[in-house]
Amino acid sequence: MLITSKPLFVYLQRPDTGDWVTVGRYQAGSEGTGYFRYAPSYADAGLNWAIDPLNLPFHPDVEIAAPRYGGLHDVLRDACPDGWGQALLRREHKLPQNTPMARYLVLASNADRWGALAVGTRPKPSVAALAIPKLPQLQQVVEELAALNAQQPPVHARLRRRLVETASVGGARPKATLQDEDGGYWLVKPSLPNDVADIPRLEHFARQWGAASGLRFAPTVLHPAAPGQGGRSAVRVLRFDRNRERRAMCVSAASLLQTEYPGGLSNDRWSYPRLAEELRWIGVPAEDRRELFGRMVFNAVCGNDDDHPRNHAIVFDADADGGGWRLAPAFDVVPNPVETPAYLAMQLSTGRFDITREAVLADAHRFGFGNREEAAAWLDALLDRIGGTFDDAVETLDGAWRQLLAERLQYNLALLR
């Protein structure tokens, strides 16, 4: 390995005690290579949590090369910002468009990073805690995000600095983290001037509908547009990678599927049944594979075709017996506001992206169903619940949207029944 830069130390907030430890070291090599090694001190302390149970299983003394993302390991890519945060960092640090991902990893603040990892140049963990805006500042945060998005000067200068400093969470849309009065952390996602619909409202609606159908969604709260927000609505989503000050390890489905998102060359590996098998492989309880099947069906019915591999994740549950990985709550489920999609972003069964009963059921055994009849009965019961809870959930939308989504529901139910 030709070393071209200083090593980067990777820190982990221990799932059991909450203490920060150095879990390993990342070293960029030449020509887009990179290597990770678990820290000897981590192994010596008797610790053995794998930060990515599939791609970085715990093997002390082994240097593991990164096969994707120009030499950055998948789970470290998961700890980087996406489109939104990267754009802010490029502006702030005058970086070129083709800035390597590892640069974003270093520049993004540890204070708000996704999951329980942090990075630094010192061998001993040092994770700065920045004050996170509080819930009563929601309107100001929404205003400031709008100004940032429009590349306008700050409205609230201190808040602007804080939002730029902490733009580490992923996703393409403007967002920020807020803390409620109980110490809970929420992601705030405002509407945008170019949106063709009230996206925050649609996201909140989908959450209410999915949860009423029996699926496990991250809780959301809708903040309808108020005059003080310049006519902008916002939705906030409870962060599943935080429990007050405690962070939970997370890994994206992109990492589990061993695919790059965004930017991968092909969607061959984007697949719900493949993801279900990876969940099984890493010891996620069987019920979570059915939950994934249910979410696939729900996305098909509501027309959420933005169900890409970074919109699913796993989270480490320290309270489970001995600690274990679980499918994270559903998030970023938004019915397509422009058209009723015929395809999902991920395969429902091998090679099939189409929203049809055949595609839903063809690989049902890979989700843990005993046979096709069992899967078909489970599917029909879920479709009944999805159909039966629509009327209540849709009350949050206005008349035109109710009509559009009611027609979509009937259309898709006919394809899936």
**In this chain, which of 191, 311, 347, 349 binds Mg ion, going by CB under 5 A?**
311
Q: How far is the CB of 176 from ligand ATP (least distance, A)?
A: 11
Q: Is 27 in the site for Mg ion (CB under 5 A)?
A: no
Rounded distance between C-alpha atoms, residue 209 and residue 387, angstroms? 10
**In this chain, which of 85, 171, 210, 329 binds Mg ion, going by CB under 5 A?**
171
Q: How far is CA 70 from CA 24, 74, 117, 393, in A?
A: 19, 10, 20, 44
**In this chain, which of 24, 34, 125, 170 binds ligand ATP, going by CB under 6 A?**
170
Rounded distance between C-alpha atoms, residue 21 and residue 117, angstroms? 10
Rounded distance between C-alpha atoms, residue 107 and residue 80, angstroms? 9
Q: How far is the CB of 152 from ligand ATP (least distance, A)?
A: 20
SS3 17: coil
Q: Is 80 in the site for ligand ATP (CB under 6 A)?
A: no
Closest C-alpha to 406, from 330, 335, 331: 335
**Would you give the DSSP letter of residue 56?**
B
Rounded distance between C-alpha atoms, residue 375 and residue 370, angstroms? 8
Q: Of all residues in the chain, what percent are helix, strand and coil, respectively (each to 5)?
A: 40, 15, 45
**In this chain, which of 52, 144, 165, 332 binds Mg ion, going by CB under 5 A?**
332
**In this chain, which of 173, 216, 280, 402 binds ligand ATP, going by CB under 6 A?**
173
Q: Is 171 in the site for ligand ATP (CB under 6 A)?
A: yes
Q: Is 174 in the site for Mg ion (CB under 5 A)?
A: no
**Would you give the DSSP letter of residue 310?**
T
* Segment interacting with ligand ATP (CB under 6 A) among 8-16, 19-27, 282-290, 309-317: 309-317
**Close Cβ partners of 377 (under 8 Å, ≥ 6 residues apart):** none
Q: How far is the CB of 330 from ligand ATP (least distance, A)?
A: 9
- Tokens standing for residue 64: 């593991």
- Tokens standing for residue 130: 């920045």
Q: Phi-psi region for residue 71, left (φ > 0), alpha (ψ -120 to 50) or beta?
A: left
**Close Cβ partners of 315 (under 8 Å, ≥ 6 residues apart):** 240, 241, 248, 249, 250, 325, 326, 327, 328
Q: How far is the CB of 228 from Mg ion (least distance, A)?
A: 27
Closer residue to ligand ATP in complex, CB, 42/240: 240
Closest C-alpha to 207, from 232, 184, 183, 186: 186
Instruction: Select the binding partner of residue 173 from ligand ATP, Mg ion, none (C-beta < 5 to 8 A, by kind).
Output: ligand ATP
Q: Which residue has the tokens 């010596």?
A: 44
* Region 242-301 residues binding ligand ATP, contact defined as CB under 6 A: none
* Segment interacting with ligand ATP (CB under 6 A) among 103-111, 171-179, 267-275, 294-302: 171-179
Closer residue to ligand ATP in complex, CB, 115/368: 115
Q: How far is the CB of 280 from ligand ATP (least distance, A)?
A: 22
Q: How far is CA 312 from CA 68, 116, 249, 351, in A?
A: 19, 17, 14, 19
**In this chain, which of 20, 35, 331, 353 binds ligand ATP, going by CB under 6 A?**
331
Closer residue to Mg ion in complex, CB, 175/289: 175
**In this chain, which of 39, 72, 163, 187 binds ligand ATP, going by CB under 6 A?**
187
Q: Is 368 in the site for ligand ATP (CB under 6 A)?
A: no
**In this chain, which of 26, 49, 209, 240 binds ligand ATP, going by CB under 6 A?**
240
Q: Is 311 in the site for ligand ATP (CB under 6 A)?
A: yes
SS3 268: coil
Using CB under 6 A as the criterion, which residues of the chain lie in contact with ligand ATP when the complex forms? Answer: 82, 114, 169-173, 187, 218, 237-241, 306, 310-311, 313, 331-332
